[in-house]
Structure 1
């Protein structure tokens, strides 16, 4: 009874903390094995398990790898996880797993790849803009995860787990200077016990760099990035039957300048680290924002059962101003010639609560049951302006649209495992979700004529139910080999068009998308060799899409009827000695639209087949059989690590990574000339000197050593809003060369 009272009191305490800055519940990072072995413990099935025992195609990027290789965000992380890609845009990056994700053009999309930050669901990409720091690990689960992770996991789920407080005192401080970006990073943490029952951890990071693209208009590098992050974690363990973890993380960022560079449209792009853009009418280009994620997790032992409560709060306030490289200076007099610019201020807050009950393991029947609730409010402003003066068009105008959405969802879920024999298991899962949304869209003309963009109004309500089942058969061939086969479904809720001019009630809503996944895999460990392989067939119906039409300079948002992806994923690790290991991850996929009536025209289609200026022609268009954009057929990485003792007081540690992708379309219209990114490989390297007790280190850290320039996405900026039609490329990070030093206590 005492433990149950503690559980109830912790819920009250969590609610009070959320009211004034918010804790929320989370999965704790699992500490490294004290014995020093290399077993990776994950919580992908809401229990602590060895990675080799989990019947899911998944990868884990450890906190050590994230720290050592300078992995600051999901785009960096994608280099280490095949079949995961990030579409880079102006601060609204999108994660794709197995070729499926939610396009960035419609800001109100929930993500098809759901993110969980210490157990808190993050459905908006802006909730995750802060760089990674002080993490335990990142778990990447490929394919629908509709049962246990639940909300909007049609393509997969990513769980970010921060480092936990420690029982013994420890501290670290690490600083680096980047010679290419002319900037520094400083990070550190302090962790240890306050009393016999309370441990805390305080971690922070500061980033200040000048970017990798020279803006010839200002003489400064873009994007200039300043970020500050701090996270406080407290672990309270008043009894063996109860523990409570509270976390609160605050992030602030100010990014000046953009990542777009202009090029031709009739020739293959020659990407360069140079742009020309002066301050737009909306102010200095860039992104500024604040984020807050708070969590509190309570675990209560009820005999052999565990009752878990996870309470979460997430908030962000952000504003993005975009300009597009004009390539030429302004004319005399300071009037900006043919410039296009926009801005997207956003505000979001979310509260969530999950409760689940877990049975003991090792029984003939094991189960997890629970319920989840969340509610959120989202507001988006859109300012779009044009300063155009040429023989065809003279237009100086600024429009403002505003979008408000309220969301409420509730779900119940369960998973049961039948241990038929010591070697054979059957796992069944089911989640029911009810979602309600209501939204409004409106606009105003701040100044300018009335003939360029229509201003409309729309409002709507949605109420929908989704059921996501899965079933898995898992068999231990031996102590070292496990095979599995899975059938599962996932879903993502429908919603509303948030930032398309001319939106009306008739075009305001899009339908929920659903996925079906059939997968089989093997996980094997043979001493020095670990091999994990999976094959899959994934199909989406009512795939949510948003495609830019450069002819009308508008976005077309809705649903594609169906698309499918089939492929194979593999990871092989060889550890011939304690001093050397090699990990190779490879993936292949074939992804196509199966049926897409009413699709926006592809650049390869002749006007006789599809005319982008004709609504009737677009309505009759079907691009079934075409590939999806932003997706490579092949992707992978090779990572080699060597540790060499130089003397009794000095060690050399070297890690090299080569990551690669085959060519892919990086434009919505799949233009074969300017809108295709050719295949590439990028090389990362870390060379470190340190002492055997890991008390200090000095390292060289290089990312993209060969300075391979690539574009995450591209679109065509058409005449007459520009004198010369040109392509606008979002340039991904260039070479980084840094010296790092750190100490631990």
Structure 2
């Protein structure tokens, strides 16, 4: 018989590092969603995308060649290597400039935190929508090995071993692996009769810790090799002329949402990740009379090389155009952060306690993006273009025969070109292609600080700011062979060099009412910054760069543990405005379709 007087089970305290210091989640004046490492295992998740249902207002899509994160409806698609993310990726205190680095760290996780809204003050650029803050497990106090094996009826399986080693009272290490396969994938390609987005991963991570009374040093390193079939799209709306053309090449082609696609390019993706980082924590308690003061230095290096990446650029079974890497595409970053984190119970005899963070940050990265757009079949290409433009009022004026738009002739044009190919190829040139490249170098420096100053016993003033400077250099090239791609994609040959310098200012102001240690209400005003950049698909010498994006947010929130600690409550009202929102679109003024990257006027999330 149940005992009605038995106390309710108390929820455990959740410690987060959302403000670069360890705090109970009920003390943090911002909206934070968390998933702990136990839930990672209990949920049966095979990747971060499987966990998005546990954290509200979050969408995650990861692959070896790109990562798309959205918080409160805003994020950045990884359709262009020159785009910076809108949601920052931070793992064990290290900021990673490309979101797909997160895929390396799925297993042996202590905690995932999702910080909603602009986080520029403490986390810097490229966090206008939020931050994914991941904390992996540290070496523990015993020798031994653990792990898990996972098999599903959908064709996924994984082995994730962990080995913990203690060498003496100061030194310990933790080695973890993730060896996973997905035989089924997320989509089925009816044209190639194969599964798509079936990621295979081989990852090793090492973490070594030195711990003494005076200093703690944490050294990490990782290596990951990831591969997949890379046709990761699905057409859900197709015009009747285009559907008729597609079904000439694949009778099962369709335009609806059902996890089936049709592409003729046997696209593959493969990326190799390597990295290392070192974190040093040194306590300075009592320095200049400050009760608790810690110095932290974080040094990091990371590199990803996309070694293989194909895209069926027409997203159909029609052998029209494909996008392939000319050479492996590397991204490399170096970073250094220094910060002081402290707490003092008395500030020069005024008010009450203060918590603060102050520091400096340096970051440098290089990127090489290179693509070749190649027409696979001239007849199919013209059939595709005429079907796509059939009935369009602004059909490409260049695509005419004896004054009649080819859009009215549609499919017979392609068949005619196929018949004439033996004659046309020597005249027009057999290779219809465009080669485009971007070499980019980025350098960023910033100083930042934030404090919570309790002016009364339970009322705190929140204030902070980040000031930074970023410099980017870009070298673009575009070269075409043949006549078709300049005609349909507005390509022109060019060799261009550009540089840009930006200044970042990300302030934060707010008020917090900490009525109890397990409850607080807050009102904050924050600004975030996403850096401008360069178009990594520079088919022509126009629209080569775009300006920075900025977000301004007002948020009223409350969080508490209630009913003797058995209920955790978190709620927020927010209004976030994005100015100069960076968007990917196509320029079609001349009837040709060239990818461009522009700044929209504004957008809003409420």
TM range (shorter): 0.7 to 0.9
Question: What residue ranges of structure 1 are gaps of 5+ in the alignment?
Answer: 1-34, 329-336, 567-745
Task: Give the superposition deviation at 1:275.
Answer: 4.2
- Hey, what's the Cα distance between the residues in 2 that align with 1:143 and 1:178? 36
Which residue of the partner structure matches residue 178 of structure 2? 205
Which residue of the partner structure matches residue 229 of structure 1? 203
Which residue of the partner structure matches residue 47 of structure 1? 21
Map 1:138-149 onto structure 2 (within 5 A). Answer: 138-149=112-123
Task: Give the superposition deviation at 1:435.
Answer: 0.6
1:91–1:287 CA contact under 8 A, matched in 2 = yes
Structure 1 or 2: more helix by fraction: 2
Pair 131,325 (structure 1): closer, same or farther in 2 beyond 3 Å: farther
1:475–1:484 CA contact under 8 A, matched in 2 = yes
Which residue of the partner structure matches residue 320 of structure 1? 309
Within the candidate set 338, 341, 356, 1:358 is matched to 341
Question: What residue ranges of structure 2 are gaps of 5+ in the alignment?
Answer: 1-8, 241-253, 286-291, 347-352, 384-411, 418-429
Pair 67,549 (structure 1): closer, same or farther in 2 beyond 3 Å: farther
Within the candidate set 269, 287, 294, 1:306 is matched to 294
Pair 503,84 (structure 1): closer, same or farther in 2 beyond 3 Å: farther
1:90–1:258 CA contact under 8 A, matched in 2 = no
Task: Give the superposition deviation at 1:119.
Answer: 1.6
Larger Rg: 2
| 1:515 equivalent in alignment to 2:496 | no
- Hey, what's the Cα distance between the residues in 1 that align with 2:105 and 2:195? 20
Aligned residues: 516
Question: What's the TM-score, normalizing by structure 1?
Answer: 0.65
Task: Give the superposition deviation at 1:218.
Answer: 4.5
- Hey, what's the Cα distance between the residues in 1 that align with 2:471 and 2:113? 29
- Hey, what's the Cα distance between the residues in 2 that align with 1:206 and 1:438? 38
Map 1:719-734 onto structure 2 (within 5 A). Answer: none
1:210–1:222 CA contact under 8 A, matched in 2 = no
1:223–1:286 CA contact under 8 A, matched in 2 = no
Within the candidate set 428, 436, 440, 1:405 is matched to 440
Which residue of the partner structure matches residue 428 of structure 1? 463
Task: Give the superposition deviation at 1:48.
Answer: 0.8
Q: Deviations for 1:51-73, whole angstroms, at most 9, x for unmatched residues?
A: 11110111011112222224344
Task: Give the superposition deviation at 1:385.
Answer: 1.5
- Hey, what's the Cα distance between the residues in 2 that align with 1:450 and 1:139? 45
- Hey, what's the Cα distance between the residues in 1 that align with 2:568 and 2:485? 65
SS at match of 1:152: coil
- Hey, what's the Cα distance between the residues in 2 that align with 1:139 and 1:211? 30
- Hey, what's the Cα distance between the residues in 2 that align with 1:86 and 1:209? 18
Q: Deviations for 1:245-296, whole angstroms, at most 9, x for unmatched residues?
A: 0001111012135233455524894334444444x4xxx4111010123211
Which residue of the partner structure matches residue 338 of structure 1? 319
Q: Deviations for 1:604-630, whole angstroms, at most 9, x for unmatched residues?
A: xxxxxxxxxxxxxxxxxxxxxxxxxxx
1:73–1:131 CA contact under 8 A, matched in 2 = no
Pair 478,37 (structure 1): closer, same or farther in 2 beyond 3 Å: closer
1:513–1:541 CA contact under 8 A, matched in 2 = yes
Question: What's the TM-score, normalizing by structure 2?
Answer: 0.80
Task: Give the superposition deviation at 1:450.
Answer: 6.8
Task: Give the superposition deviation at 1:325.
Answer: 8.2
- Hey, what's the Cα distance between the residues in 1 that align with 2:113 and 2:224? 22
- Hey, what's the Cα distance between the residues in 2 that align with 1:227 and 1:296? 25
| 1:378 equivalent in alignment to 2:367 | yes
Pair 227,276 (structure 1): closer, same or farther in 2 beyond 3 Å: same
| 1:474 equivalent in alignment to 2:512 | yes
Within the candidate set 223, 239, 252, 2:225 is matched to 252
Pair 508,272 (structure 1): closer, same or farther in 2 beyond 3 Å: same
- Hey, what's the Cα distance between the residues in 2 that align with 1:450 and 1:522? 56
- Hey, what's the Cα distance between the residues in 2 that align with 1:487 and 1:205? 41
Within the candidate set 456, 459, 468, 2:494 is matched to 456
Pair 55,295 (structure 1): closer, same or farther in 2 beyond 3 Å: same
- Hey, what's the Cα distance between the residues in 1 that align with 2:174 and 2:485? 57
Pair 180,508 (structure 1): closer, same or farther in 2 beyond 3 Å: same
